[in-house]
Amino acid sequence: MITGRMATAAAGLTAVALALTGCAAGAEGGETGEKVTVTMLVNITPNLTEAFWNDLVAPFEEANPDIDVKIQAPAAEGVAKTLPQLLASGEVPDIVETVPPTEELAPELVDLSQYDWAKNGPLADQYSLDGKYYMAGIGYQLQSIYFYNKQAFSEAGIEAPPTTVDELEADLQKLQDAGWTPIQSGGEWITQIPVQTTGLPSIIAENADWFAEMSDGDVTFSETYSDAMERYASWVAAGYIPADSVGVKYADAEQQFLSGKSAIYPMGSWFAASEAKAAEKPEIGVFRAPAEKGIDNPAMGANVANPYVIMMASEHQDAAAKVVEFLVTDEEAVTKQLAADGNFRDGYEYEMDALGQELLAIVADTPESDFTPTGDGYGERVLPRGYQTELNVQAQAMLTGVSAADAIAAMDAWIESNR
Amino acid sequence: MPTTETISTALVEGPEELTLNTTAMRAVQRERRRARRSTPTSNSVGGLILKWTILCLVAVVMLTPLYILVISAFKPQADIIENPLGFSPGSFTFDYLWASITSEKFNVIQAYGITLLFVLLVNVFSIGLAAPAAYVIARGQSKWHLALLLVFVSGLFIPGQVTLIPVVFVLRMLGLIGTIPGFVLFETAGTLPVTIFLFVAYLRTVPRDIDEAAALDGAGKIRAFWLCIFPIMKPAVATVIVLHSIGVWNDFVNPQVILGPSSGIYTVTTGVYAAIGQFSTDYTTVFPTLLLTIAPAIIFFLVMQRYIIGGLAAGATKG
Amino acid sequence: MADTSRTMIVWKRRLPGLIMTMPAVIVFTAMFLVPTVLGFVLSLTNWNGFSLNLTFIGFENYLRAFENPRSVDAAIFTTVFAVVTTVVCNLVGLALAVLIAGPGRANTVVRAVFFYPYIISALIIGFLWSAMLAPQGVFNSILANLGLPSIPFLTDPAFAQTSVIVTGIWAHYGFSMILYIAGLKSIPAEYYEAATVDGAGPWARFKNITVPLLAPIVTVNIVLGLVTALRVYDVVLALTAGGPAGSTETVVFQILKNSFDNGKLGYGAAQGVILLIVTAVLGIGVTLARRNAEKKVAD
């Protein structure tokens, strides 16, 4: 009977063992042929579809038959949340698009300082860490801007876009008097945008080291952001920002502005791509977010468009560098990417409408040193991770009736305990 | 006090009909019931009306979302908003349901298959591992056996989310992260406390004579267990299958984190999450997708209702 | 020699038992016990999920969990959710169980209607109710068609918290009810008969027979209700995604957000350990406290 017993046991153990090893063997089936496969984790959006990415790298693959670029789509939550999961699981892609280098991420990234295309690209200095260049991008995404409905402005008798926050506030009143919803806002993650768009241009212009001093605790949120927060709360109280915005989804907010139901829409420059695609729309213009009176160089919140980083864990770093070089230098590739997502870069023109031209003019007029990160920041200018999410929470709180003072105190407490 | 009377009537009649089955007893029962009905204190017509009014109200609350879900899966967006509770003439269409079935974003048929596979694997492993272990524990008398039971049962109080983050660490070291074996192993481990607990409780009610009878056959202990004891455990096994099938089919966080995005393996829940996201307001996608994901569970429930309810009740009350 | 052979015999006798228990022990240890211990170790580090260079920072993560306003709010909401859903599910569940515990086709149908949400994934329940309660959702459409103002079910903090709690009750009281029905059925009819003979009225019978004999079921319902509710996550994710203004974030929501969105896995692990301790203390505490109530039955 011993044999029977052993057989049963062996069968059980083998089943477990097979289950344990089965997939491990399968996963390592990759052979070391001549053709190198470079995987690239990219953001998939309505503008940047999987087909777009495959199409984008097709000319490169044709010119480099030994390199195959495999586009990898992230989970539903996007690249930023997918990458930590991939890193934790050890299945790291070679190239990652859209995740900016940070101090925590830097040890996982290849230093690209040896490449001119990384060192001299858009916002390269802003994104550098300890003098090392870890990313290369293709252009600018502007964030301290307001889109506006030109008809609304003329109905309200506003002749020129405001140049100070006080003027903006006066214009909001005029728009409301003319029967318009002055500011288009929304729930989800976009509630914080008016707060940052109001605050950052002045805060950064007054203190270029704001990010560093905030994260070191040299200045506090209440010392620097109170004006903007109070203004926001007063705009909510005055009805410039409708209190029920919190229930408006991002996509619906965009739709409402495009269908002419609101006058001003604070949003990143990627909105221009949606505007360009919309069939019926009002005439829309854009102006730079003004700073408080007396500040003549308002800071411009901007992200680099389509930043690429190469992962240290990659086994094909040279091939990956070739891919990135193509993506950020090849004129056709760059303009294709700029056009797809409504991004801009001085000197790279693509077929754009009047709104696009206005945005390009803002980019051309802004000195490189006036650009600033927004939200959680990037490069050496970073705040505790989750800052923007928390700011969004507090903006929603103010929309639902919490006082500015309470919201400011909550931000101070959050930053204090997350520093 | 019509409510109290209703309550007690319902209360007393229930157990009676369950326990007194013989014809003789039934006769006695009928007599007694007649006697009770004739008591002047009862206000049973009013009580019944009240009882069924309450029940119908609750039923409406329970069924309205389901009703809206079903009809909205066959309507265009405008009709969902303008006429939420019915159909406008000519608005009925299968188009949206068909679009969801054939959606590229979420292959629902494949998700059914994958989730069903997980349900089967977890059940097989959970029962296969737990049954013999529970037998040894239930029959053992040393302090080691008790300790082993306590270790397993302590798992009942450990929330899965607590082990989830470190388990990513462990699976990564084993090279099993993002793989089906890795997921099944973790999910199986999570089910072991309940399985072992229920099996031990059940086996302790099984007389030891059966062990001896099995041993007399000349079979080895392990063989004897599978051949003679395991078949007796059918009710406990059924309970466990009900519990784990519902648990695994509905699990969301574990597959979302362990299978991860790069595996391309979507269960029904992670697939719905990816397809709908938390932000979708396109109800012509939301409702058909939800209908497709709810349908198998509802059908399974309707068919297996008695066993599911019985199994769950047995499982929880043994605890 | 004698010694080794005796050891051999002992081992031979133990071998089948070992073979039968080892696979379960190994899987459970590797996938459950080790991660639990590891979770505690990680909670003392600043692990960010990126690198494996961990720095031990003592109990800093725990201090942070008690100081951080967001995690304190989440703990408060989770507690309220757990207590309210458990109490209401038990009251409603018991009341309905008493009404429909009897046999009969109608009772069976009603029972299924009350219970069915329990077998649907909490995530999908959340999506379903989100479609009902959203600003442009079904309920507000109905209100608008009736010319009534909309109700901010999911967009006002207090409403949203209530919506989450009501959804939780909607989905779970059926389970409490099923357990109570099972309990009611197990009470021997003779008890009631004897009481009736002694002249006890319906209320007296309910109080003196039903309530004490159901005591063990009450315990199970409370413990299971609390332990499940303290882990609430899926339904919140789908219904409100923690909003508005973070008002419906729960402890598990915080754990997963800190771990995977904010890259603070050490912090997330610490919150997990706290949740584990609270769950265990509550579970064991309630069980012990209820022992007294159950003892009365035995007497």
Per-residue pLDDT reduced to its tens digit, A124-165: 888 988 889 999 999 999 999 999 999 999 999 999 999 999
Residue numbers of B between 60 and 119 with CB closer than 8 Å to C = 61-63, 65-66, 68-69, 72, 80-85
Residues in chain A within 8 Å Cβ distance of B256? 75
Q: Residue B301 and residue C116: Cβ atoms within 8 Å?
A: yes
Q: DSSP secondary structure string, A58-83?
A: HHHHHH-TTEEEEEE---TT-HHHHH
Rounded percentage of chain C residues whose pLDDT exceeds 70: 95
Averaged pLDDT of chain A: 85
The answer on pLDDT for C204 being more than 90 is no
Rounded to a whole number of angstroms, the distance between the first and last alpha carbons of chain A is 66
Residues in chain A within 8 Å Cβ distance of B279? 188, 249-251
The answer on pLDDT for B166 being more than 70 is yes
Residues in chain B within 8 Å Cβ distance of C118? 312
Closest CA to C127 of B106, B293, B76: B293
Residue type at position A407: A
Closest CA to C138 of C151, C156, C124: C151
Which of B136, B262, B280 is the mutation pick for testing A, counting most A CBs within 10 A? B262
Strands A145-149 and A181-183: unpaired
Predicted confidence at residue B275, as pLDDT, reads 79
Query: Is B119 part of any domain?
Result: yes
Which ipTM was obtained for this model? 0.87
Predicted confidence at residue A10, as pLDDT, reads 36
List Cβ neighbours of A396 (8 Å cut-off, separation of 6 or more).
A187, A191, A246, C243, C244, C245, C246
Q: Residue A385 and residue C49: Cβ atoms within 8 Å?
A: no
| Domains of chain C by start residue, with CATH | 1-43 (no CATH), 60-298 (1.10.3720.10)
* pLDDT tens, position by position, A239-255: 999 988 888 888 888 88
Residues in chain C within 8 Å Cβ distance of A387? none
- Chain C within 8 Å of A13 (Cβ-Cβ)? yes
Rounded to a whole number of angstroms, the distance between the first and last alpha carbons of chain C is 58
Give the residue-averaged pLDDT of A376-387: 87
Residue A353 confidence class, pLDDT cut points 50, 70, 90: confident
Out of B261, B279, B281, the one facing A75 most closely (by C-beta) is B261
Q: Residue B180 and residue A8: Cβ atoms within 8 Å?
A: no
Out of B171, B185, B222, the one facing A8 most closely (by C-beta) is B222
| Domains of chain A by start residue, with CATH | 10-141+303-360 (3.40.190.10), 145-298+384-418 (3.40.190.10)
Residue A314 bridge partners (DSSP): none
Closest CA to C113 of B305, A124, A245: B305
Rounded percentage of chain B residues whose pLDDT exceeds 70: 81
**Residue for token pair 């153990």:** A13
For A19, nearest residue in chain C (alpha carbons) = C27
Q: Residue B221 and residue A5: Cβ atoms within 8 Å?
A: yes
- Chain B within 8 Å of A27 (Cβ-Cβ)? yes
Give the residue-averaged pLDDT of A401-419: 89
Query: Is B53 part of any domain?
Result: no
- Chain A within 8 Å of B177 (Cβ-Cβ)? yes
Query: Is B293 part of any domain?
Result: yes
Predicted confidence at residue B281, as pLDDT, reads 67
Q: Which chains have 3+ CB pairs within 8 A of C?
A: A, B
Averaged pLDDT of chain B: 79
* pLDDT tens, position by position, A295-304: 888 999 998 9
C-alpha–C-alpha distance, residues C12 and C2, integer Å? 15
Q: DSSP secondary structure string, A72-120?
A: E---TT-HHHHHHHHHHHT---SEEES----TTTGGGB---TT-HHHHS
**Residue for token pair 């409510």:** B3
Note down the domain range covering B178. Answer: 108-318
Which of C249, C261, C265 is the mutation pick for testing A, counting most A CBs within 10 A? C261
pTM of the prediction?
0.80
Residue B262 confidence class, pLDDT cut points 50, 70, 90: low
For residue B122, the distance in angstroms to the closest alpha carbon of chain A comes to 12
Give the residue-averaged pLDDT of B44-64: 90
The torsion angle over the Cα atoms of residues C222, C238, B270 and C250, rounded to 10 degrees, is: -50
The answer on pLDDT for B67 being more than 90 is yes
C-alpha–C-alpha distance, residues C163 and C240, integer Å? 9
The answer on pLDDT for C83 being more than 90 is yes
C-alpha–C-alpha distance, residues A291 and B6, integer Å? 72
* pLDDT tens, position by position, A166-175: 999 999 999 9
Predicted confidence at residue A88, as pLDDT, reads 67
| Burial call B80-119: b when 16+ CB within 10 Å, e when fewer | bbebbeeeeeeeeeeebbeebeebeebbbeebbebbbebb
* pLDDT tens, position by position, A307-343: 999 998 888 999 999 999 999 999 999 999 988 887 8
CA distance to A202, A210, A379, C200, per residue, from A218 (Å): 18, 9, 19, 76
Query: Is B311 part of any domain?
Result: yes
Q: Residue B316 and residue C224: Cβ atoms within 8 Å?
A: yes
Least confident of A242-246, B11-15, B208-212: B11-15
Out of A80, A385, A396, the one facing C245 most closely (by C-beta) is A396
Provide the domain count of chain B: 1
Out of B178, B185, B219, the one facing A19 most closely (by C-beta) is B185
Q: Is C219 helix (H, G, I), strand (E, B) or coil?
A: helix
Task: Tell me which of C88 and B3 has the higher pLDDT.
Answer: C88
Residue A278: left if φ>0, alpha if ψ -120 to 50, beta else—which one?
beta
The answer on pLDDT for A222 being more than 80 is yes
> Which stretches of C198-264 are DSSP H helices?
202-205, 211-213, 215-230, 234-239, 251-256
Query: Is B47 part of any domain?
Result: no
The answer on pLDDT for B27 being more than 60 is no
Task: Check: CB of residue C272 under 8 Å from CB of residue B158.
Answer: no
* pLDDT tens, position by position, C136-165: 888 988 898 888 888 889 888 899 999 999
Give the residue-averaged pLDDT of A227-232: 94
For residue B178, the distance in angstroms to the closest alpha carbon of chain A comes to 7
Q: Residue C16 and residue B273: Cβ atoms within 8 Å?
A: no
- Read off the CATH number of the domain in which B199 is found: 1.10.3720.10
Task: Check: CB of residue A186 under 8 Å from CB of residue A252.
Answer: yes
How many C-beta neighbours within 10 Å does residue A224 have? Answer: 18
CA distance to B11, B150, B229, C95, per residue, from B134 (Å): 37, 12, 11, 37
- Chain B within 8 Å of A294 (Cβ-Cβ)? no
Give the residue-averaged pLDDT of B47-51: 87
Predicted confidence at residue A121, as pLDDT, reads 87
Query: Is B179 part of any domain?
Result: yes
The answer on pLDDT for B25 being more than 50 is no
Query: Is B115 part of any domain?
Result: yes
Residues in chain A within 8 Å Cβ distance of C243? 187-188, 246, 393, 396
Give the residue-averaged pLDDT of B191-196: 93
Residues in chain A within 8 Å Cβ distance of C134? 247
Averaged pLDDT of chain C: 87
